[in-house]
Amino acid sequence: MEEKEDLLNLLLNKGALRLASGTDDIFVLKSGRKSPYFINIGALTDGESLSKLKQILARFIASLIKEGKVEDFDFIFGPAYKGINLAALACEGLAELYGMNKRYLYDRKEIKDYGDKKADKVIVGANYFKPGDKILIIDDVITTGKTKVEAINKLKLLGDHKIVGLVLIVDRQEKMGDAEKVEEKSAVQSIQDEFGVRVFPLLDIKTMYELVKDGLSEEMRRCWIEYYEKYGVIKLT
């Protein structure tokens, strides 16, 4: 729990996690859902924040390997754009703290129209990839899971590979869909069922809510509870 609190404090103190103070302050997500909070890992742009995040990521990933939850791997893949920095930080942290020398990959938003390797036109770092290599995916937040599915499909360009897991900064623990259409499965469950990829969040919303709810007004507590009654796979109280 201490590591989760460290991450939560980092996100709050640096403005990467914003909590609505009232119903007039609600955040509209890309999905169209109106959320009582907003997470923007891109707000962590100063050296102190990046240094702390690097250590948190490295400790978390190393613990997953040590506990046998993920196989040791060759690459960390960070989907553009926010996943790129996370992959780089994780690689640096693993090398500094544990002597684990990993490479990272990331995808291009626009396909490169030069060069001689097909996969490298889409995935940077593909020239170091060997058939059978193992990949850990890392990204910031999961809501509907659409971008994670796109990332998994892009990795197919590499050929024979194994995805050992997906690490997230935050799992919003929401059902797939949008503001109007709400499916039964969560994004995490869908990815695990469709691709057989286990998902490991550093922080999930139920834990985060328990840590912040005492500081919320009664109005905003109701807002959180109602939001997750409609869109969530967990129940808040």
CATH of the domain at 70: 3.40.50.2020
Q: What percent of the chain has pLDDT over 90?
A: 83
Question: What is the average pLDDT across 117-141?
Answer: 89
For residue 190, tell me if it sits in a domain: yes
Question: What is the average pLDDT across 202-228?
Answer: 96
Separation of alpha carbons 73 and 54, rounded Å: 18
Enumerate the H helices of 99-154 as residue ranges.
146-154
- pLDDT bracket for residue 111 (50, 70, 90): low
Distance, C-alpha 38 to centroid of its chain:
14
For residue 62, tell me if it sits in a domain: yes
Question: What is the average pLDDT across 186-191?
Answer: 92
Task: Answer whether residue 35 shows pLDDT above 70.
Answer: yes
Structure tokens at 86: 């996370």
Structure tokens at 180: 């109007």
Task: Answer whether residue 115 shows pLDDT above 60.
Answer: no
Long-range CB pairs of 10-18, under 8 A, 24+ apart, other chains included: 10/44, 10/49, 10/52, 10/53, 10/56, 11/39, 11/44, 12/212, 14/43, 14/44, 14/46, 14/49, 15/40, 15/43, 16/40, 16/41, 16/42, 16/43, 16/44, 16/49, 17/208
pLDDT: which is higher, 100 or 176: 100
pLDDT at 148: 87
For residue 219, tell me if it sits in a domain: yes
Phi, psi at residue 213, to the nearest 5°? -65, -30
Task: Answer whether residue 160 shows pLDDT above 90.
Answer: yes
pLDDT at 202: 97
Beta-strand relationship, 199-204 and 162-171: parallel
Given the structure tokens 């942290």, which residue do they identify?
Answer: 93
Within a 10 A sphere around the Cβ of 76, how many other Cβ atoms?
26
For residue 52, tell me if it sits in a domain: yes
For residue 85, tell me if it sits in a domain: yes
Question: What is the average pLDDT across 207-225?
Answer: 96
For residue 236, tell me if it sits in a domain: no
Reduce the DSSP state of residue 206 to 3 states and report it: helix
Question: Max Cα separation, the chain?
Answer: 60
Into how many domains does the chain fold?
Answer: 1
Domain around 94: 2-231
pLDDT at 146: 80
Separation of alpha carbons 57 and 46, rounded Å: 16
pLDDT at 213: 96
Separation of alpha carbons 209 and 228, rounded Å: 11
For residue 237, tell me if it sits in a domain: no
